[in-house]
Structures are given as structure tokens and as C-alpha cells.
Amino acid sequence: MNRREYLKKTLGGAALLGATGMMAPTGAAASELMELMYSEERGEYTLPDLPYAYDALEPNIDAQTMEIHHSRHHQGYVTGLNNAHRKLAEARASGDFALVKHWSREVSFHGGGHYLHTMFWQVMSPDGGGEPRDADLRSAIDRDFGSFAQFKSHFVAASNAVEGSGWGILAWEPVGSRLIVHQAEKQQNLSPWSSTPLLMVDVWEHAYYLRYQNRRGEYVNNFFNVINWDKVAEWYKAAR
């Protein structure tokens, strides 16, 4: 099995990097994420291009926030992840594991950040918003939350209530065979191990503070104006 096949299998069948506490989408969705997140030629994790311009999500998310968020914050997670893997490789080569706790935490933190941000960019679109058009996804939302309106209220409330920095996440939970909304503190804490993320909103202050200051709830509400429901539906089908 070559590295490309291994990464496809890992992204499709296990928690990415063992870091996020969540399962990755499978099949074509896994291949898509692999191509966005990792360069086989360079042998390292890479920053994906955005699928739209920095100003494309105005007025809901401003261009300056998008530029800083993508080119600095997300790049920081990529750089941190690559560095942590290098340090762990050095530790294995030398047999000196004095800092293994630190670098293992760095893999979890930066790996979770790279994974969630890569998906986050994909679930937004300047042509997004509204409600899901896919019948299967809409039916699942109605079944598991009562209605789309009830799902939205739940998602906004959970995201707004994240303590400190983190994420609000809609995920497929295969054990109960249902959709769930949960929180992730930082990038990696409190996430159900079995769940597959389908829709996520970043509620770290860097994601919204320039436009919304302390009005996190307003930001999350406006996030619904740019959700790419077609991408969410694609990942839902892959997760099931």
C-alpha cells in the first residue's frame, strides 16, 4: 500500500490523524479532503485554496476576516501540524521522548484545526443559504430535530454556547444512526469519537470579531446565509 492509498484509507475509515475525535467522510469525499489537505509530492500537509474569493461571502463574513482567517490562522495550523510530526519523528529516531506529551498535543490541536478549517471553507458558498434541497438530508433533519427551524435554533444555540473558543458541529452519528449537534472546544475536545462532521461553524473570535465584535449569535445566524447545503448533502450521503 503506497502513501496515497494509506491516506485515503485513513481519511475514509478512521479519525483523521487520531486528532479530532471524529470520523472523516468516506469514498470520494475522503479523496477530496486528502487532495485539499496534503501534498504527496511535498510529503507534508498544505493550506488549501479557498473555493471563492475572500470577499465572496460579504456582507455575512467580511473580506478582511476571511483573508486573515485563511492565510494566517489556518496556515498556522498547517505549519504547526507539520512541525509536530517532524518533532515526533526526531524523538523516535533519537529515543528521547521527554517532550512526547507536548508534541502529541500539538498534533491533536493543529490536526483538528487543519481538518475542521478545510471542511469549513467547503460548507460555505456565495450562492449558499436557504434550506437543504436534497430530500434525504432534509428528511433526516426533520426526523432527528423535528423541523429545519428547530434544527437551526438548536445549532445556533449550541454554537453560541461554546465555552471559550471552539466549533458548533452537525454530525452523523452511526451508532444511533442519526444526526446530532455537538460542540468542540478548541479544535479537538468534547467531540464524539464515532461521529462524522457534516457542517461546522468556527466560533473562535478570529472568525467573527472584526465584523461582529462580541455578537457571536448574530454571526452564527448569518452563517446560515452562506451554507453550501449541496456540499453538506454530499458528505451526508458519504457518511451513511
Q: What is the pLDDT of residue 229?
A: 99
| Per-residue confidence band for 27, with pLDDT thresholds at 50, 70 and 90 | low
Looking at this protein, which amino acid is placed at residue 142? D
What number of other Cβ atoms are within 10 A of residue 93's Cβ?
Answer: 8
Choose the most confident range, by mean pLDDT, from 10-19, 67-76, 189-198.
Answer: 67-76
Q: pLDDT (tens digit, 9 = 90+) per residue, 185-206?
A: 887 666 666 789 999 999 999 9
Q: Write down the domain spans for the chain.
A: 135-239
Q: At 15, is the secondary structure helix, strand, or coil? A: strand
pTM above 0.85, yes or no: yes
The CA radius of gyration of the chain, in Å to the nearest whole number, is 18
Averaged pLDDT for residues 111-134: 96
Q: How far is CA 57 from the centre of its chain?
A: 18
> Whole-angstrom Cα distance, residue 229 to residue 204?
22
Predicted local confidence at residue 33, as pLDDT: 83
Examine the pLDDT at 18 and tell me if it is beyond 70.
Answer: no
> What is d(CA 34, CA 117) in angstroms, rounded to the nearest whole number?
13
Q: Which of 15-24, 51-60, 79-88, 132-141 has the lowest mean pLDDT?
A: 15-24
| Most confident by average pLDDT, 28-42, 122-136, 161-175 | 122-136
What is 135-239's CATH topology? Answer: minor pseudopilin epsh fold (3.55.40)
